Every structure is written in structure tokens, then in C-alpha cells.
Amino acid sequence: MADSPKLSKSGEPQDAAVMPNVSGVTVVDAHSEAEAVAAVEAPAERGEPILQVRGLKKHFPLTQGILFKKQIGAVKAVDGVDFDLYQGETLGIVGESGCGKSTVAKLLMTLERATAGEVFYKGQDITRLSGRALKAVRRNIQMVFQDPYTSLNPRMTVGDIIGEPYDIHPEVAPKGDRRRKVQELLDVVGLNPEYINRYPHQFSGGQRQRIGIARGLALNPEIIICDEPVSALDVSVQAQVINLMAKLQDEFNLSYLFIAHDLSIVRHISDRVGVMYLGKIAEIGTDTEIYDHPTHPYTQALLSAVPVPDPEARENRERIILTGDVPSPANPPSGCRFRTRCWKAEERCAEEVPLLAIPERFQGSDSPAAHESACHFAEEMDVVHAT
Ligand SMILES: Nc1ncnc2c1ncn2[C@@H]1O[C@H](COP(=O)(O)OP(=O)(O)OP(=O)(O)O)[C@@H](O)[C@H]1O
Ligand code: SF4
Ligand SMILES: [Mg+2]
């Protein structure tokens, strides 16, 4: 886990200013078609990735006609995404609404079938698995959803909700042992084990999200995909849930893919961050690389919109206002997808898709700017000294 100095052990935010909702957070992007999958370089200390995503695409067909449906195009929700997830780390994925974050999550969970690309779990491509082999992998990759109000079945008790995964994987908890297991899980997420027979409506939003987390943990997974797990919660409760997740990560050596709109929240939980724009990753790196040394114009624009608590830093920073709407994923711009909103765009940007790679000018350098950025003209810009 990255340091989270602003969040106390008790789960209370020590500085409310660090947990704002960054409204209008947009995303980033650029990448290629036949992407020469520039594999994410793994620093030696990270070890082997537990998940490797390569050239992942999901195109939803756009159809016309009622009786005889004819495909007239495709929504390129995810259009060539590459990243690695390492054991025990949190990779934050940030992006504005519609950039493809949930679709990536569903592809990793194999809830959607990929149009192209691979997802390697410990070296095995899970996009090609079915039957028993798929079931075995699914046990190790679980999900926590955004909305604790709608993601829990109101007609089931908490015990049944948390224990439901055992119906599919009885080998983890035989029938006679389930109640004890579920009570243990309630305790692990900070809920009273005696609440086992209660219904979701008898809990607060934060408590319901704890129930969702307990359910995610039921099968002892290695990876948890968290799709905006705190977006629907109050600021103070967000901090408590994030602290709980950090604690559980240490305890169970979990790897998190943590999806969010909010750059601030992602920084507090992530070791690395990937910024998405219109179905692609624009920039990816450690939290220091992304927050203090961003080289992609889109990340720079996003950071310039993050509220800064220090009035002096706020005064002195450069504010980038993005103009224009996000293009439709059914008809993305040629070349760099960000070019219609980028103040640095040149002719080359319309012709050539920028690859997600360490920019040439930084190659061989040990500068924190030497991280992957999908921009032809990637360069550092002192946008904000993120806290
Ligand atoms: N089943 C589907 N059929 C057609 N289009 C879809 C489908 N699911 C998602 N899309 C489209 O794919 C794009 C990406 O959607 P996705 O839900 O992945 O975005 P997101 O980044 O999670 O957004 P949000 O932040 O609002 O949750 C959107 O344009 C969406 O309308
Ligand atoms: S400079 Fe060009 S390649 Fe870089 S983000 Fe802007 S439009 Fe894309
Ligand atoms: Mg989503």
C-alpha cells in the first residue's frame, strides 16, 4: 500500500480537505490499434505480476432495426488496454464517466467476453478458459461494487449474502462450517457477528459496503477488483472503508485494482495509478510519478483540477481548463484520442496513435518522468504540488 498519512488508524480523516470529490474529473488516453503491446516494465522488487492485461478490447455492437438487427458500428468501450497488477499492490484506475473502467472490471472478472486481447492470471490466459478451469480462476478474483444500496439483495440476510459464494465453492466452507465462517468475516470487516440474521436495510451505507467487502473475501481471493467502492459514501465513511481495505490488504496479501473518478482517493490507496481516456490508458506509473511528475497533457489537466488545501500552492499553480466534450467511443478521433481537447495537439497527433511507453526523451533516465505515457510530446509540467 502507498502511505496514507492523512487517514488515521481509526478510520477518521485527519484532514477533510484531502478527501474531496473531484467533480468533472475527466480521463486520459491514447494508445494504438495493433498495439505493439509495450509490456509494462516490472521493477525487480515487485516480483512477478499476478495479472497481466495485454491489448484488451471490448467493442459493443451498435445495431439498427427491430426484427432484423443490422450492425451499424460498435461502441469501443475498451480499446487496447495494457497493464500489470503485482501481488499485494493496489493499482488505481482513474477516468471520467464512460471511459471504460467498469468494462475493464467486467472483463477481468470474465463477466464480459473480450473482443480481443488477453488477461493472464499467473501466466494463464483467462479469456480463453471455460468450465472448471474458469471456475477455479474466478474464485481467486472477486469484486466489490460501487453501490452498497443496490448491490446487496434486500430479501437475503447478511449471513446468506456473505455465504452465497460457498454455494458455488462448497470446498471452501462445507455447509456445517458456513455460519462460523460468515461470522468470522463479519468480525474481520468490523461488524458485529451477531448481525448475521439482519437484512441489508438495517445497515448504514458504510456498513453495507463492509458487507460487500466481507462477501468479496469469502472465498479467500488473491485479487479484488473494486469498482468505485466508496463513491456512493459520505466523505468520512469513505476514509473508514479505505482504511479497512488497506488493513485487509496487509492481512491477506491482497492485490487490488481500485477504480475511481477521484484522483485524490486513488492516491491515498494506490501504489501505482493508471489514467484512462476513451477506452485506453493514457499514462501509468507510481503515485509519485503520476502526481508529481505527470507527462501526459490529460493527467496534467486532471491534476490541475484537484483541490489543493494549501492556499499558497493553490494561488501559484497553473490551472488547465479543458474545452470541448469527450468524443463518442463509437467514433473516436483518429491518432491520439485526446487530441480534440489537447492544447498541444499537432498534425502528427491526428495521424499517429501514440503508444503507451516511456517517452524517448526520458529513456535511460532515472527521472520520475521516465514512466509510460501515451503522448508524442510527453514532457513534465509543474501543474500542482499534490499533497
Ligand atoms: N452492454 C453494453 N452495451 C453497449 N454499450 C455499453 C455496454 N456497457 C457499457 N457500454 C458503453 O461503454 C462505454 C464504457 O462504459 P463503462 O461502464 O465501462 O464506463 P465507466 O468508465 O465505468 O463509467 P462510469 O464512471 O460512469 O461508471 C460507455 O460509453 C457505455 O455506454
Ligand atoms: S500532444 Fe498530441 S499525442 Fe500528446 S496528448 Fe496531445 S494530442 Fe495526444
Ligand atoms: Mg463504471
Ligand 1 atom nearest the C-alpha of 78 is 14
* 340 DSSP assignment: G
Ligand 2 pocket member 83 (CB < 6 A): no
Count of domains forming the chain: 1
CA of 225 from ligand 2 middle (Å) equals 30
pLDDT for the residue numbered 324 = 82
- Distance, CA 19 to ligand 3 centroid (Å)? 20
Q: Which domain holds residue 249?
A: 16-62+72-146+228-373
pLDDT in tens, the chain (387 residues): 443 333 333 333 333 332 222 222 222 233 333 333 333 444 446 778 999 999 999 999 998 888 788 888 999 999 999 999 999 999 999 998 999 999 999 999 999 999 999 999 988 999 999 999 999 999 999 999 887 778 899 999 999 999 999 999 999 998 889 999 999 999 999 999 999 999 999 999 999 999 999 999 999 999 999 999 988 888 889 989 999 999 999 999 999 999 998 788 888 899 999 999 999 999 999 999 999 999 999 999 998 887 777 777 767 777 788 888 889 999 999 999 999 999 999 999 999 999 999 999 999 999 999 999 999 999 998 775 444
Confirm or reject: Cβ of 127 under 6 Å from ligand 1.
no
Ligand nearest to the CA of 277: 1
Predicted local confidence at residue 64, as pLDDT = 87
CATH number of the domain enclosing 234: 3.40.50.300
Residue ID of nearest Cα to ligand 2 atom 5:
375
Q: Which positions ≥6 away from 246 have C-beta within 8 Å?
A: 1, 4, 7, 269
Tell me if 323 is assigned to some domain. yes
Q: Which ligand is nearest to the CA of 355?
A: 2
Residue 182 counted as domain residue:
no
Ligand 3 centre distance from Cα of residue 239 (Å): 20
| Cα 172 to Cα 31: distance, rounded to the nearest angstrom | 41
Give nearest CA residue, ligand 2 atom 3: 375
Q: pLDDT tens digits for 213-256?
A: 999 999 999 999 999 998 888 888 998 999 999 999 999 999 99
- State the Cα–Cα distance between residues 249 and 255, nearest whole angstrom: 7
Please give the helix or strand (H or E) that residue 90 lies within, else none. Answer: strand 90-94
With a CB cutoff of 8 Å and minimum separation 6, the contacts of 107 are: 56, 58, 78, 114, 119, 127
In a domain, 161, yes or no: no
Contact 120, 51 (CB under 8 A): yes
Mutate-to-test residue for ligand 1 from 57, 58, 75, 325, highest number of ligand atoms within 8 A of CB: 75
CA 99 to ligand 3 center in whole angstroms: 8
Report how far ligand 2's centroid is from the alpha carbon of 349 (Å): 6
301 Cα: distance to centroid of ligand 2 (angstroms): 12
**Measured from the CB, is residue 52 less than 6 Å from ligand 1?**
no
CA–centroid distance, 299 to ligand 3, in Å, is 19
Task: Return the ligand number nearest the Cα of 344.
Answer: 2
Question: Does residue 340 line the site of ligand 2, with CB under 6 A?
Answer: no
For 350-357, the CB contacts below 8 A with 24+ separation are: 352/376, 353/30, 353/31, 353/32, 353/33, 354/30, 354/31, 354/32, 355/31, 355/32, 355/35, 355/36, 355/38, 356/30, 356/31, 356/35, 356/38, 356/82, 356/280, 356/281, 356/282, 356/283, 356/284, 357/38
Residue 336 near residue 30 (C-beta atoms within 8 A): yes
In angstroms, the CA 298 to CA 290 distance is 11
Is 382 within a domain? Answer: no
Report yes or no: 113 and 91 within 8 Å, Cβ to Cβ: no
Looking at residue 333, its pLDDT comes to: 97
Alpha-carbon distance of 122 to 133, in angstroms, equals 13
Residue 181 resides in a domain:
no
* Residue corresponding to grid cell 476514509: 239
Amino acid letter, residue 209:
Q
Q: Whole-angstrom Cα distance, residue 246 to residue 269?
A: 7
Ligand 3 is an ion; its neighbours by CB within 5 Å are 101-102
Q: For residue 1, tell me if it sits in a domain.
A: no
Query: What pLDDT, in 10s, does the model give residues 302-334?
Result: 988 877 777 777 677 777 888 888 899 999 999
- Residue 157 CA to residue 258 CA, distance in Å, equals 27
CA–CA distance, 105 with 259 (Å, rounded to integer)? 8
Dihedral Cα 67, 68, 73, 76, nearest 10 deg? 60
180 is a domain residue = no
Map residue 231 onto helix, strand or coil: coil
Residue 326 lies in a domain: yes
239 CB near ligand 2 (under 6 Å): no
